[in-house]
Structure formats: structure tokens, C-alpha cells
Chain A
Amino acid sequence: MTIESKISIRHVHKAFSVKRGSKPFKAESQPVYALQDINLEVRQGEFMVIVGPSGCGKSTLLDLLAGLTKPGGGQILLDGQAISGPNLDRGIVFQQYALFPWKTALANVEFGLEAKGVGRRERRETAQRFIELVGLGGFEHRYPHELSGGMKQRIAIARSLAYDPEVLLMDEPFAALDAQTRETLQSELLRIWEATGKTIIFITHGIEEAVYLGQRVAIMTSRPGRIKRVIDIPFESRRSEEDLRSNPDFVKLRHEIWELLKDEVSRAQEQEKSKTLDAYGEGKSSAKGGARHG
């Protein structure tokens, strides 16, 4: 198991120090334990979905995988090598697209290729090919503000795929989209995944989305985040199934995950509440977590 793992997350911890107290002199550094002893093995070419209540540390985990931050303890291996920093072997897709507004769709997709040192000519051709892969041929010269949310997310996906990372990290990529667009993009993502064979780690709040997309679904506890259970989703080729969502097995799995998640969600809500109260008591709002959307 260990040997064939694409990504191994072993005993990973992460804590943030949050300054509290109303007066600067009284400020004491208080750690917020975001992740506690995370263990997860992701196989080559696997579609792994992570679900968990708001504020449980999902984005924190993804930042660690991207190499944007370092774990406080434990290690993360990619092909058996410890991750030392950001690299083009991993691509991230964010919920808020993170497209460069001063670049056209095409130039946005070219951005990672440029960072990779690909020549101008080849860059253009590759970018064009990936824009077509995500079904946006004809829109390459539009600026992000001229595209709909769904189109922007397609471009963001094309940008991450274009530089050919081995692993695609996706942080609630479809959460800001309307239901129809989301369903379309979900099945397109599956198509792209099947076509490219990438390893995907996909974070979501949506249980249905998790069951529909994932080969396995990891459920996290409320903060400090741990992996509570990993559930196998045994459907073959999801796209061929006519209406997978009403399949009784699908419904059963969805319910099982919901059962696992619901205590964690209420605990997370308790945490948020007490944190807000704390912040009131100390006359200063705490770190960002309290105000984050769900």
C-alpha cells in the first residue's frame, strides 16, 4: 500500500498561532490546532474526495499538500519524496477561481506554462488545446470579467491542467456555482479525469458531490481536524450510469456519510459560537475562521 501510494500523509499536524487580547502589550500567542494526526494514502490516478465541517482544516490540508505551508509535525510524501515547497507537479483549483483579471482566458491558461519555461509557440498551442478540452473554444480572448462563474472555473481548471501536474488539488471548486452548472462541471471533471488519469484530491461540503465524484471519500472531524473514516465508493464508470443519484446504493452511501458528518457539523457550529463569544469577551474579533462562510 505504502509503495504504490502517490501521496502519503503521515501523522500530519498543523497549528496556527493567533494573537488575542485587546491591548497589544497583553497580546498572547494562542495556538489554534487546525489539524491533528492526519493519515491518508492516495493512490496513483485516484479520485479522492475529502468532506468535513466548515473550519475543520480542509483548506489547511490542501495548502500543505500544495507546499504553500509546512506541517508542524509529520510528513507528506509525493512519490515517496517529502514535499519541500510549491511545484508544478501539483496544480490547485480554488473556489474563487483566482484568475488574473488583466490576462485573457488564453493568457491565464498560458501562465503556468510560462512558469514552466515552455516556449511561446508551444505555450499557445497547449493552452488552446486545454481551453478546448474544457469546452471554451472561441472564448480564449475574453477577459475573466467577461466570463460567467462556470466559465471562469473551467478556465481555472484548464490553467491547472495545462502545465500537466501529476496531482490536481481542488478546494471546493464548484461551491460558488449554481446547481445546473455544478452538475455539468462535475461530469466534465469526471470525463477529464478519465481522459488524463490524474490523481485528484477534491474538497467539498457537498455529500452528494462527494459520492458522485469520489472513488473514496475521507470524512474529517471538526477542528482539530482528523480523518474520521474513509469510505469506498464502489461505482464503476460513473458517467455511463443514467441517473446515478437515484440509485439506491448511491442513496445509502450518501446517508452513511451524512450520519458520520452530522455530529461533526454540530460540534463545529458549537466551536464557532464559543469562539465568537470569546472574541466578544476579549473585545476583539479572533482569526478569520469565525466569519468564514459555510
Chain B
Amino acid sequence: MDETAQFIDFCINILFPALADGLMITVLLVLITAPFGIAFGVLLAVGRVYGKSYGNWICRLFVGFVKGCPLMLLLFILYFGLPTVPYVGVTFDAFTASIIGFICCNSAYNSEYVRGAIISVKEGQLIAASALGMTKRQAIMYIVLPQALRRAIPGLSNEFIYLIKYSSLAYMITLVELTGAGKIVFTKYFEPGVFFVVGIVYLALVTVTTVGANALEKKYAVPGTQKR
């Protein structure tokens, strides 16, 4: 049997089944995190742009904290650190801790894109909405956000792609996701080809995301407005 055939055999019988489990975890992590990450990202952005006093400060503080903290450290704190805090200590399993950490990170960065997009909506839009008798909340919901979110799609999809990749950090707190699954197989069989295969899987995930995001952007493009 030549080397290629051997490697293919190895992939089919050993690597793929192992990676499949890891891929499942990675996909779950991403698909659970993303909706919350976007929803909270939008809330944080609205809070930062329109929020008054407390709301505004809480949003800024949160984003500042998350941006200032290495994600791996945040995961360590959530997984290893929190259970040791007296009285308030809570214990998360690795999956939950990862999800919480990723939602924090994803929403903080999403909020940057959405905030920029909100600010870029022309002032007249809000003025016209107010003049029609819309409350601030209505004007934000029905006029500003629909425009801002369209503009935020490229940024949000970018963040989604980062999420796919940094979800591998979950392995640092024992969760065997895609990268972790590959690492385990490698350790056992010393087959460096494993990492190329894992890389191709990530590439596929990212490509699907990019295609999806482009389709979304196209679908929601406002006719008559020429982009780029």
C-alpha cells in the first residue's frame, strides 16, 4: 500500500469519525453563540449610541472589559475561576463556559460594527420619524436599525468568521471541538496530515459563511443605492 492510500485509509477510519464529533461541537458553539452575539451586540450598540446615564455606562464598561481581556483568559476565569469565588461561585461545564465567553466576545465586537452603522445613518431619518410622531424607540426600531443592520452585515459576518476560528479556544478549557479533536488524533498517531485536514474543514466553514453573508447582503440591499 502506498502512502497516499494509507493516509486516505487513516482519514476514513480514524480521523473523520473523530473530527466529526469535534466539528459537531464547533458548529454547535458557533450556531448557539451567533444569534445571542448579534442580539446582544445590537442592544449594546443601541445602549452606547442612545442610552442615557446608567445604561450607557454599563454598555461601555462591558465592551471595554471584554475588549481588554484576552479571550483565553476570559474562558479560564469562567471555567476555573468562578467556582472558587466565595458565596457567589458558580460552576459551569466546559460547553456552557465556552458559550458564555464567546457570547461576551462576539457581542462586544459586533456592537462596534453596529454602532458604527447606526452612527452612519443620516440624522434626517430620525428627524423625519420624530416629526411623524414616532417615539425614539419606534424610530430606532423601524427606521434606524433596519438601515444600520444592513450596513453592518459585512462586519457581522467578519465577526462570525472570527468566531468560527476562536471557538477552538474552547479546547483550552477541555472542550474537545474541531481543533481539539484533531490534536488528540495527532497525539495518538503522530500524523501531521491531521492538521491540514482540520484546516481544510475550517476553510470550508469560513467559505460557507462568506457565501451566505454575500447572499444576505445582496438580498437586503436597498435598490437604487449603489454599493462600492
Whether A associates with B in a native complex is no
